[in-house]
């Protein structure tokens, strides 16, 4: 038997914080050594942090990475253990995303990434070059200071593997696993038995299975040991890296780390028998045949042995059942952990949330409550770093620390119900009950006096006072009155966030939390610069349907029973007066349901559908319930308001990324924000298709009406075009 003990890591790195990152790396090596591991794998670009973005273009970033690597190699950190460290490297005129593979204070090999992640949230081609030479390893001249310190002038650089005396080891970096022809395929044919994959993979709802199946499948038909490492936490941006460091052998998962955790360092250990790999490969005829005519991959010889022989004191790792979280748990734990990292690293003293008693803001409140529960639980489990952060943020003294989540919430979480004459007693009551369940410091702040003062000022200047539509006002008046309330709440939220700590003799400031969901952002169903404009938004890319399921789950599993009543209530903005014959409802205002919005969003982004493609697809999907004409009207209605409101994405509050159809403009969904909202060419084509399908030669609507425009300037800094006759209360604002 060839027994091999390996260690892979979840590390909570912080982009550009080299002290923090180096501390975590050292801690992971200590734990790996203490467990007896002879291979230690860390996440991609772990020395700098993965999310440095344009900081990768700075020479300082690369130089600091070498300085940190030097510290690791000068000490005894790599003695007796093979370590793979991720960092940027400049070779000649090119900058590469590399794994530096080290052992016994020497650099054995530098492995540049060959296939870069360059879609969705990733822009690696902006900062790095892909390594294209696959047939040879080249000499890389080490920086002078490194060379002198290590007494090593150069190191092999390129694509290849390391041949030890008793096994062969290779790196496969993140995106390379997911390419059509992944490197591990030919590496396995060349005899590589251990694959080290350093990752920078972010959380997305329902995504984990894709990732796990990829590397488990990599070893199913080819054999081998696959080590997977990842970042875990918020490293400075919208993404939460969700860990799940794992080890697989021959198609079985034998070790799996946590997906969501407040720990800065988590090391996952596995003990495996490499003879099982050789046995499987020897039993597959097709593997033998393909290996006999393989393309040769260059390698580096390392005159070390990594394996131990048969030893009854050593237990082999057994296959595990994969641990998955439900989507509801993902919504609770992912944003909850992200908020904790943001809070402790931002210097803020807590959070402030405008709590309306509706589903969205209540979801955010529940996530903060979940965060408080996680903090208390982790402290009880002995995590000293979480304890130190909680003592500092919560201003505990005389050896005290959080032992109760509600008491901790009272110290770090303000909720504010900013009601108007249009607010119902039901929502006010629901907000208060939920705040009490979570433990937040709750305030009831009437805003009618402020609204009235603004309207009086307007009347003094113009001689006119606007009225709501239900009271005989026009659409323009109705919209203006709603937007005043929404924007006043934003101003008040930031005022309370900055001044309430001062009132309570607390240092610092509070972060304002937003609470608009992904569907409303897609449709533009919010006022520009209203109380959705905040510092950060934990639910900004989560759909309404998922949030409602989360509320039902949280009512039981987080013990916030009032969430069940909140989920059951119909969604409403409560910006218009309630009358016996009228009550404002979100889906009526939008002219579409939240379920429909999820469909539109996925088709627009995930399946890359324009108006014509979406119409055709929805004719198949909805054809049993709707006529082609009805489908056409729905598609045109969506694209009209999507394009009118696209400009709002430019000021969207930075949101936790959780959904692949997020319309977030700044990093993920790169499209223009000034559209011809009539879509004349596309809508005409849809009309033609409808006539063909229906046999109806009557033109859909009066084109002369569609060509009329009203108001091309909406709200503060708004832009877009609005078709005549539009009565939606949140159009373009």
Q: Which residues are catalytic?
A: 44, 113, 174, 356
Could you give the residue ranges of the DSSP H alpha helices within 153-227?
Answer: 183-189, 208-220
- Helix/strand/coil for 439: coil
Residues with Cβ < 8 Å from 571, sequence gap 6 or more? Answer: 358, 359, 544, 585, 586, 587, 594
Q: At which residue do the structure tokens 């984990």 appear?
A: 208
**Three-state secondary structure string covering 347-410:** CCCEEEEECCCCHHHHHHHHHHHHHHHHHHHHHHCCCHHHHHHHHHHHCCCCCCCCCCHHHHHH
Cross-sheet strand order for the sheet of 441-444:
441-444, 413-417, 350-354, 510-512
CA dihedral 568, 574, 578, 584 (to 10 degrees): -70
User: What is the rounded CA–CA span in Å between residue 435 and residue 352?
Assistant: 12
Structure tokens at 273: 């028998």
Query: Residue 337 in contact with residue 371, Cβ under 8 Å?
Result: yes
Query: CA–CA distance from 654 to each of 27, 174, 473, 649 (Å)?
Result: 32, 26, 35, 10
Task: Name the residue among 214, 463, 511 with its Cα closest to residue 349.
Answer: 511
Q: SS3 helix, strand, coil % of the chain, rounded to 5?
A: 45, 15, 40
Residue 434 contacts residue 460 (beta carbons within 8 Å): no
DSSP state at residue 247: E
Q: Rg of the chain over CA atoms, in angstroms?
A: 29
Rounded distance between C-alpha atoms, residue 601 and residue 595, angstroms:
10
Specify whether the CB–CB gap between 101 and 171 falls below 8 A: yes
Answer whether 658's CB lies under 8 Å from 363's CB. Answer: no
- Residue 111 and residue 101: Cα distance in Å, rounded? 8
Q: Give the bridge partners for 241, in sequence order.
A: 202, 233
CA-based nearest residue to 529, from 714, 259, 299, 404: 714
The number of angstroms, rounded, from the C-alpha of 317 to the middle of its chain's C-alpha atoms is: 31
For residues 313 and 36, what is the distance between their CA atoms, to the nearest angstrom?
A: 13
Burial-class residue 637 by CB neighbours within 10 Å (0-12, 13-18, 19+).
Answer: middle
Q: Distance from first CA to last CA of the chain, Å, rounded?
A: 69
How far apart, in whole angstroms, are the C-alpha atoms of residue 733 and residue 731?
6
In whole angstroms, what is the distance from residue 88 CA to residue 478 CA?
55
Residue 439 has phi, psi (to 5 degrees) of 105, 10
Backbone φ and ψ of 270, nearest 5°:
-140, 140
Q: Write the DSSP assignment of 46-66 as a string of letters.
A: TTT-GGGGGGGGSHHHHHHHH
- Could you give the CA distance from residue 450 to residue 552 in angstroms, rounded to a whole number? 36
Q: d(Cα 56, Cα 67) in Å, to the nearest integer?
A: 15
């Amino acid at each position: 038997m060839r027994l091999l003990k390996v260690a892979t890591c979840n590390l909570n790195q912080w982009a550009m914080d080299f002290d923090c990152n180096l501390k975590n790396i050292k801690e992971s090596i200590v734990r790996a050594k203490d467990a007896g591991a002879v291979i230690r794998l860390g996440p991609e670009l772990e020395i700098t942090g993965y999310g440095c973005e344009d900081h990768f273009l700075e020479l300082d970033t690369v130089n600091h990475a070498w300085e940190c690597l030097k510290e690791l190699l000068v000490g005894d950190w790599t003695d007796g253990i093979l370590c793979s460290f991720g960092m940027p490297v400049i070779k000649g005129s090119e900058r590469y995303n590399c794994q530096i593979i080290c052992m016994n204070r020497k650099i054995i090999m530098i492995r540049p990434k060959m296939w870069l992640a360059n879609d969705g949230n990733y822009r690696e081609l902006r900062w790095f070059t892909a390594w294209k030479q696959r047939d040879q390893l080249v000499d890389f001249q080490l920086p002078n200071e490194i060379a002198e310190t290590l007494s090593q002038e150069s190191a092999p650089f390129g694509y290849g593997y390391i041949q030890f005396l008793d096994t062969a080891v290779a790196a496969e970096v993140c995106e390379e696993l997911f390419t059509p022809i992944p490197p591990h395929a030919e590496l396995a044919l060349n005899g590589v038995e251990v694959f080290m994959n350093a990752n920078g993979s972010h959380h997305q709802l329902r995504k984990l299975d894709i990732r796990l199946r990829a590397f488990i499948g990599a070893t199913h038909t080819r054999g081998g040991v696959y080590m997977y490492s990842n970042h875990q936490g918020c490293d400075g941006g919208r993404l939460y890296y969700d860990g799940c460091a794992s080890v697989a052998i021959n198609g079985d998962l034998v070790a799996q780390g946590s997906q969501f955790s407040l720990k800065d360092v988590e090391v996952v250990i596995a003990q495996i028998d490499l003879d099982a790999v050789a046995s499987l490969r020897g039993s597959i005829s097709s593997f033998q045949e393909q290996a006999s005519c393989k393309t040769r991959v260059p390698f580096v010889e390392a005159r070390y042995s990594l394996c131990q022989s048969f030893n009854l004191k050593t237990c082999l790792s057994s296959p595990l059942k994969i641990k998955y979280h439900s989507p509801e748990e993902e919504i609770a734990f992912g944003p909850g952990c992200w908020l904790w990292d943001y809070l402790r690293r931002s210097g803020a003293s807590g959070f402030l949330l405008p709590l309306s008693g509706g589903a969205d803001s209540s979801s955010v409140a529940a996530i903060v409550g979940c965060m408080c529960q996680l903090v208390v639980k982790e402290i009880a489990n002995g995590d000293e770093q979480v304890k130190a952060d909680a003592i500092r943020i919560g201003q505990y003294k005389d050896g005290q620390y959080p032992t109760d989540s509600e008491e901790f919430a009272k110290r770090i979480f303000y909720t504010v119900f900013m009601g108007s004459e249009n607010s119902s007693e039901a929502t006010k009551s629901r907000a208060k009950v939920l705040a009490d369940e979570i433990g937040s410091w709750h305030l009831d702040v009437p805003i009618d006096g402020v609204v009235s003062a603004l309207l009086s000022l307007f009347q003094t200047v113009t001689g006119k006072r606007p009225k709501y539509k239900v009271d005989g006002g026009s659409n323009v008046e109705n919209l203006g009155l709603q937007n005043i309330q929404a924007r006043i709440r934003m101003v008040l939220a930031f005022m309370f966030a900055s001044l309430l700590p001062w009132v309570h003799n607390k240092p610092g400031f509070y972060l304002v939390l937003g609470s608009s969901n992904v569907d409303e952002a897609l449709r533009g169903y919010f006022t520009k610069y209203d109380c959705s404009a905040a510092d950060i938004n934990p639910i900004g890319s989560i759909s309404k349907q998922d949030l409602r399921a989360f509320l039902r789950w949280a009512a039981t599993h987080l013990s916030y029973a009032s969430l069940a009543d909140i989920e059951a209530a119909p969604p409403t903005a409560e910006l218009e007066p309630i009358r016996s014959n009228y009550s404002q409802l979100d889906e009526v205002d939008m002219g579409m349901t939240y379920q429909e919005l999820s469909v539109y969003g996925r088709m627009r982004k995930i399946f890359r559908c324009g108006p014509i493609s979406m119409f055709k697809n929805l004719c198949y999907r909805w054809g049993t319930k709707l006529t082609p004409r009805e489908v056409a009207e729905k598609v045109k209605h969506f694209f009209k308001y999507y394009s009118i409101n696209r400009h709002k994405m430019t000021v969207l509050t930075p949101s936790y990324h959780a959904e692949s159809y997020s319309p977030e403009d700044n990093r993920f969904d790169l499209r223009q924000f000034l559209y011809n909202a009539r879509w004349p060419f596309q809508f005409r084509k849809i009309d033609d298709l409808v006539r063909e399908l229906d046999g109806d030669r009557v033109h859909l609507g009066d084109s002369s009406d569609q060509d009329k425009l009203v108001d091309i300037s909406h709200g503060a800094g708004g832009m877009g075009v609005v078709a005549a006759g539009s009565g939606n209360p949140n159009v373009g604002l």
